[in-house]
Structure 1
């Protein structure tokens, strides 16, 4: 499987990854309704998918991810 990291993909590839993952839900926009994840941040190269998914799983968005040391924002 090819890497899906931002550094290893083009914007077009990231957009296709999201389209393939969301299927028909892509048409509602990049904020996947069920999770509240803003996948546009990944497409734009601002946040990795793993970070977006981790934040959604924890129920919040980390404003300063560089300060997060341990999953779910725990220090």
Structure 2
């Protein structure tokens, strides 16, 4: 698999990577496509790596729960 890093790709390749990863978002779109595409624009523009775009999205996601419930895994914050 070829590297997805900005330093190893051209803008056109990054556009193709995002388009291929998202698949046919036009087909069942409920109006969310512009937001999803916008999320990856910094990667396409060479400003943020894919990993950073995904991390930024997760940081701003609100699940509606105060804290996740953990049952028996022993994980302590």
State the TM-score, normalized to the length of structure 1. Answer: 0.63
Gaps of 5+ in 2: 62-77
- Between 1 and 2, higher relative CO (CA 8 Å, sep ≥ 6) is seen in 2
Alignment length (residue pairs): 56
Report the CA distance between 1:56 and its aligned residue: 1.1
The answer on whether the counterparts of 2:39 and 2:57 sit within 8 Å (CA) in structure 1 is no
1:16-51 superposed Cα distances (whole Å, 9 cap, x missing partner): 00000011126944x317xxx621111111111100
Does residue 32 of structure 1 match 2:36?
yes
SS at match of 2:24: helix
Larger proportion of strand: 1
Structure 1 Cα separation of the partners of residues 19 and 36 of structure 2 = 11
Q: Which has the larger radius of gyration?
A: 2
Structure 1 stretches of 4+ with a deviation exceeding 6 A read none
